Amino acid sequence: MDFEIVNGSIESIEADCIVIAIAADGELSDSAKAIDQASSGAISDVVASGDFSGKQGALLLLRSLPGVNAKRVLLAGVGAQSERSIIKQQQLIKSAVDTIKTLGVKTLCFALDRISGNSDDIYRDTRTLVEASSAALYHYDTTKSKPAPELTLEHIHIHLPEADTEFGEGALLDGVAIANGVSTARELGNLPGNICTPLYLAEHAKNLADEFDNVSCEVLDEKQIEELGMGALLSVGKGSAIPPRLIVLKYQGAEDPNDAPYALVGKGITFDTGGISLKPGPEMDEMKFDMCGAASVLGAFESVAEMNLPLNLVTIVAAAENMPSGEASKPGDVVTTMSGQTVEILNTDAEGRLVLCDALTYVQQFNPQAVIDVATLTGACIIALGHQATGLLANDNELAAKLLDAGEFAGDRGWQLPLWDEYQPQLDSNFADMANIGGRPAGTITAACFLSRFTKEISWAHLDIAGVAWNSGKAKGATGRCVPMLTQYLLDIAEQIEA
């Protein structure tokens, strides 16, 4: 998709459709007023007749308005100021694009005058327009016999005052990079498990290294993983015919290549049967999405490389397939992790924390400034937070606050849960240093407590995306979360570096 900033009087813009904002009780935005005046009151007539009130999320398409060069004008209701939020702004933009993309429109122009969201921020609004439009245009057809028909929509323009063009173009470029990362994460998540295996993820990472000059990739095979003493990661993958992989991507963007990097770690369980602790059959197909943590850190890595941020970044993906077989781990087995700590595997379906604990130990050799792991880790997180918020737990409240702020800005929100020592005894084991589960109570917290035992010496945060990584039902598919949150966090750091 081609995105472009445009200027000039809105009524003279050449486009197949222009989207303008109408506030609550029919209050017109500046662009709506200009089109209303040029069309001899056509917009105000629609409002006065009661056909359109500006209710949040409402849309009404008008055609061939006199005095307006655009063939169509789409009225978009933004509601009252108190009703607006970045989440509703994203939904409105997606709805507008969904409405337009089926009409044979080639050029769409947004002229929302910075009132569709809850902040008067050109950068944020422009980026949101790009990211939400891209999300609406994404479609998956990789494994279909016939690709979806090509969209006629080719250009999306964003109307800004001429004085804001340069600032808007910077936001547009960032938005495109983040949208590309989200699309990558969605595509990886949507691929079936027989295609997107640990080996496939490794090849994807190698391709990223080929695409960007300042990116390198190393893939550790099962022999190297064993030599490093990663008994937990190996225990998950040994039930599958497809061997595990540890993927290491490095981005060098800092002026000093020796600057300590920031680190992202992703759970890459490309299919999760539960192993010997077999999951129930219904909806097990959705366990191809159990690698969405890996997909999100790979997507965020791609966005950072595309934006060429002035920092160093290490991204680790612990990739394995969790299968039942004669070789698979059994409940009651004890494994030794890379850290030397031992784990009693009481439930083989609590495998994500096993691959992550070894990856979290491995990443510490890079002396990272902060480590963030991302995983579809616990069904308990869905019970706690539903499908709206990412669960966040951390041993560093300053890091947690930065991630929460980044999520609010990017419209990719999280909610912090406690990581108190009082939960740790639930992981006690009679036969190892710890068990890999702590019972049903506070399942999301005890999973993070498990990971915290491997991150005592670093600034660390854990993002549980089990509830937000994909949609079920008719809209089944990966969402690309938490690419926006992670990328915004790193953008905030880059801004501080450049200040």
The answer to whether residues 187 and 84 belong to one domain is no
**pLDDT on residue 374:** 98
pLDDT in tens, 330-386: 999 999 999 999 999 999 999 999 999 999 999 999 999 999 999 999 999 999 999
Domain assignment present for 92: yes
**pLDDT on residue 499:** 80
**pLDDT on residue 128:** 97
**pLDDT on residue 389:** 98
Burial class of residue 233 (count of CB atoms within 10 Å of its CB; 0-12, 13-18, 19+) = buried
Q: By three-state DSSP, how is residue 6 classified?
A: strand
Of 125, 160, 195, which marks where a domain is finished?
160
pLDDT in tens, 401-457: 999 999 999 999 999 999 999 999 999 999 999 999 999 999 999 999 999 999 999
Q: By three-state DSSP, how is residue 98 classified?
A: helix
Angle among Cα 7, 13, 18 to the nearest 5 degrees reads 105
Domain assignment present for 466: yes
CATH value at residue 384: 3.40.630.10
Sign of CA dihedral 198, 199, 205, 211: negative
**pLDDT on residue 118:** 86
The answer to whether residues 252 and 137 belong to one domain is no
**pLDDT on residue 80:** 94
Whole-Å CA distances, 484 to 408, 413, 480, 496: 10, 9, 8, 18
Catalytic (active site) residue 279: yes
Q: How far apart are CA 472 and CA 283, in angstroms?
A: 9
Q: Which of 94, 206, 279, 453 is catalytic?
A: 279
The answer to whether residues 156 and 227 belong to one domain is no
Domain assignment present for 174: no
The answer to whether residues 118 and 258 belong to one domain is no
Task: Tell me what the pLDDT averaged over the chain comes to.
Answer: 97
CATH value at residue 63: 3.40.220.10
Whether the pLDDT of residue 179 is over 90: the answer is yes
**pLDDT on residue 473:** 95
Whether the pLDDT of residue 217 is over 90: the answer is yes
Whether the pLDDT of residue 464 is over 90: the answer is yes
Catalytic (active site) residue 481: no
Domain assignment present for 169: no
**pLDDT on residue 158:** 98
pLDDT in tens, 138-177: 999 999 999 888 899 999 999 999 999 999 999 999 999 9
pLDDT in tens, 271-323: 999 999 999 999 999 999 999 999 999 999 999 999 999 999 999 999 999 99
The answer to whether residues 272 and 402 belong to one domain is yes
The fraction of the chain above a pLDDT of 90, given in percent, is 96
The answer to whether residues 119 and 200 belong to one domain is no
Domain assignment present for 424: yes
pTM over 0.85: yes
Whether the pLDDT of residue 6 is over 90: the answer is yes
The answer to whether residues 201 and 252 belong to one domain is yes
pLDDT bin (cut points 50, 70, 90) of residue 25 is confident
Mean pLDDT confidence for 60-78: 97
pLDDT bin (cut points 50, 70, 90) of residue 120 is confident
The answer to whether residues 185 and 155 belong to one domain is no
71: nearest Cα among 139, 18, 126: 18
| Domain around 77 | 2-160
The answer to whether residues 259 and 148 belong to one domain is no
Of 160, 191, 217, which marks where a domain is finished?
160
Whole-Å CA distances, 29 to 107, 111, 117: 21, 9, 13
Whether the pLDDT of residue 119 is over 90: the answer is no
The answer to whether residues 368 and 493 belong to one domain is yes
Rounded to a whole number, what is the distance in angstroms from the first to the last CA of the chain?
32
Sign of CA dihedral 218, 220, 225, 226: negative
**pLDDT on residue 309:** 98
Domain assignment present for 39: yes
Of 113, 133, 160, which marks where a domain is finished?
160
The answer to whether residues 156 and 183 belong to one domain is no
The fraction of the chain above a pLDDT of 70, given in percent, is 100
Whether the pLDDT of residue 91 is over 90: the answer is yes
Domain assignment present for 194: yes
Enumerate the H helices of 52-164 as residue ranges.
86-100, 122-137
Q: Which of 353, 402, 413, 481 is catalytic?
A: 353
The answer to whether residues 132 and 206 belong to one domain is no
Whether the pLDDT of residue 229 is over 90: the answer is yes
**pLDDT on residue 245:** 98
- Based on the structure, what is the number of domains in the chain? 2
pLDDT bin (cut points 50, 70, 90) of residue 267 is very high
Domain assignment present for 432: yes
